[in-house]
Amino acid sequence: MARPDKAAAVAELAEQFRSSNAAVLTEYRGLTVAQLKQLRRSLGENAQYAVVKNTLTKIAANEAGITTLDDLFNGPTAVAFVTGDPVESAKGLRDFAKENPNLVIKGGVLDGKALSADEIKKLADLESREVLLSKLAGAFKAKQSQAASVFQALPSKLVRTVDALRAKQEEQGGAE
């Protein structure tokens, strides 16, 4: 029979899996408490980094409908639950892992899709959502101004053509 404290821990972890956009599993063996505190700060406001028990977390993930992470629950494991922009948190993990090789990114899940450690590193290489949206808006604005130029060119070209025809008719009419 499950102890009430373990059942509560499983329920809390399952809720964190459900409410997160992404979850990244890491191995933190060899990191000091101060380094873990620094890592939590580097993840940003929209991520929570928690050291977890593998068995309970595996049960919680399965309850939340995530079964693709089962093979990653071995050794000392911590999970970064991301509720905001996953790119920002992936960058924080990647950069921290570069400075502290004891942090190993095992893998994770993003919107229900399993991600390998390499895919998380590729996610970290993306620009943030805000930058991508501003680039998209700039591209739309450029296309609109190009379209406006084309639409303005058509009437002015028509006016020049009509003027040229009128001038040609006047020359022909005056020459007769």
**Structure confidence by residue, pLDDT tens digits, 57-115:** 888 888 888 888 888 888 888 899 988 888 888 888 888 888 888 888 898 888 878 88
**Amino acid identity of 34?**
A
pTM: 0.67
Of 86, 32, 24, 73, which Cα lies nearest the Cα of 49? 24
Residues 6+ apart with CB under 8 A from 51: 28, 36, 76, 77, 78
Tell me the pLDDT band of 1, cut-offs 50, 70 and 90: very low
Of 107, 120, 100, which Cα lies nearest the Cα of 36? 100
Q: Is the pLDDT of residue 119 over 70?
A: yes
Output the six-digit token pair for 79. 């999970």
